[in-house]
Structure 1
C-alpha cells in the first residue's frame, strides 16, 4: 500500500474484528484493497495480530492495524509484525501527529531497529532496505474530537502523515451529540476532508453503504473502510432467515 494517495481510484477495505486467519484469507479472496485489524475496539492482541499478518501475506491482502494507543512500544510491535500501516486514534494535535510519525520511522524518527523481525525479512533483506520500507509504512491519523477538527489542517500538513481519517462517532460524542449523522458532525467532516485534500493527503471515512461511499468519493475521499467482518457475517446470516421471522 503506497503512502502516496491515489489520484483516480478509491481504496476499499473493511475492519477485521474477528481474530481468525481464516477470515483474513476470505477477505483476501474478495478483491478488497486492504483490511484494518481493529486492535482498539476488538479483543485482538499482538499474538493474534502476528497470525493475522501471516494470513494477509498468504493471500496478498495488505493489513493495517488500528492501534489501541499512541505509545511508541505499541506502534513498534505492530509494525514489526509486518503491518502495511497504522490507523492511530485520537490524534488531536500536530505535535501528537509528529510523535506518531516519529515512532513509525527509523530515519528522522525514533523507531527501534531490529533485523530479526518479519518486517525486516527475518534478517534477509538488509538494513537499508528495511529503513526504506519503513518510509513507506502508511500513517493515518484519526480525527475524532472538536480539538482535532480545529487542528486538522496542521495535522494533515505534518511531514510523514499520509492521511487523515474521520471518526464520526467519537466526534459526535466530543460535540455532546448522539448521532454520527448530526449536521454538526457532517459539517466538521467536510472541514477535515478539505484540509486533507488541500495538503495532498489521503482522506478516509467509515461508511456503511455503497450510496454513502459514492457520495464521499465525489467529494474527494479515496480511503474507505466499509463495515467489518462481523457486520458482513451478520448481514449474510440474516439474509438466510425468512422475512416473516
Structure 2
C-alpha cells in the first residue's frame, strides 16, 4: 500500500479527498472504489467514537484508501489512540500558534517527540515490525494543522515552518465566525485564506481548503492549493440523490 507521504505529496498534482461523517465501514469501502486520493474521518463534527473509527480504519486498509482523522481535541491520548489505529494522518482543529503546532507534533511523533510506544497496534503490524521499523512507520503519519482564527492567520508562516507539520488547512467557516462575519466567502476571509495558502506553499508544505464545488476547487488550484477536502459522504449522497430525482415543482 502506498505510504501517506508518497501518496499525498505527488509533485504537480493536487490531491482530493472527502469528509466521512457516517459511522459505516461500508462508506469507506465504497469510496475506496472511487478515484478519491484519501478521506478524512470527521471525529470533530460527526458521531464517530473510538470503536467506529477502528472499524472504519480496517475498511480503509482493505480498500486501499488512506484515512486521516479530524480529531475532536488536541489531547495527547486522542492523538495516540488515532495514530495507533493506523491513521494516515491527523487533521488538527484550532491550531492557533507555533506552540500549539509544536505540542501536536511532539505528541504525534516518536523520534524527537513524546508519543508513547507499543509494538502491538495496527500501525506496527500487530507486533510483526521490529522497533526501528515501527518507529519509522509511525512517524510517517501526516500532521495537518487547521487555521481557524485571526491569531492563527497571523502565525500561519510560523506554524507551517514547524518541523513535523506537513500542511495547513484553512477552515474558512470558523475563520469567518472568529472574524465576526457570517460568510465564509467574505473578501476579508478570502484575503486571510490567501495569506495562509501562501505561507504553506512558501514552507514547502501542503496547502489545503474545503470546497463544495468544482468551480471553487479549480479556482483554488490555480492559486496553488494542492490538498482538497471536497464535500462529505453526506453531501455527495444528497446531491446525487437530488440530481436523480424529479425536477422541483
Q: For this structure pair, what is the TM-score category when the shorter chain's length is used for normalisation?
A: over 0.9
Structure 1 distance, partners of 2:104, 2:44, is 16
Match of 1:124 in 2: 128
- Please list the CA deviations of residues 136-194 of structure 1 after superposition, one character each: whole Å capped at 9, or x if unmatched: 11000000000000000000000100000000000000000001000000000000011
Is residue 2:49 matched to residue 1:45?
Answer: yes
Kept after mapping to 2: 8 A contact 1:6/1:222: no
SS in 2 for 1:227: strand
Structure 1 distance, partners of 2:191, 2:129, is 46
* TM-align CA RMSD: 1.0
Match of 1:18 in 2: 22
Match of 1:62 in 2: 66
Match of 2:213 in 1: 209
Match of 1:238 in 2: 242
Kept after mapping to 2: 8 A contact 1:165/1:205: yes
Kept after mapping to 2: 8 A contact 1:94/1:158: yes
Moved more, 208-217 or 167-176: 208-217
Is residue 2:81 matched to residue 1:77?
Answer: yes
Moved more, 177-186 or 130-139: 130-139
User: What's the offset of the Cα at 1:45?
Assistant: 0.6
Match of 2:202 in 1: 198
Match of 1:220 in 2: 224
Kept after mapping to 2: 8 A contact 1:5/1:201: no
Kept after mapping to 1: 8 A contact 2:124/2:138: no
- Please list the CA deviations of residues 190-218 of structure 1 after superposition, one character each: whole Å capped at 9, or x if unmatched: 00011011110100000111111111111
Which segments of 5 or more consecutive residues in structure 1 lack a partner in the other structure? none
- Please list the CA deviations of residues 62-113 of structure 1 after superposition, one character each: whole Å capped at 9, or x if unmatched: 0000000001100000000010000000000001100000111011101000
Structure 2 distance, partners of 1:41, 1:49, is 13
When normalised by structure 2's length, the TM-score is 0.96
Match of 1:182 in 2: 186
Structure 2 distance, partners of 1:126, 1:14, is 34
Structure 1 distance, partners of 2:96, 2:9, is 22
User: What's the offset of the Cα at 1:135?
Assistant: 2.2
Structure 2 distance, partners of 1:222, 1:197, is 9
Is residue 2:9 matched to residue 1:2?
Answer: no
How many correspondences in the alignment?
245
Structure 1 distance, partners of 2:53, 2:162, is 28
User: What's the offset of the Cα at 1:7?
Assistant: 2.2
SS in 1 for 2:117: coil
Match of 1:29 among 33, 46, 50: 33
Structure 1 distance, partners of 2:153, 2:128, is 43
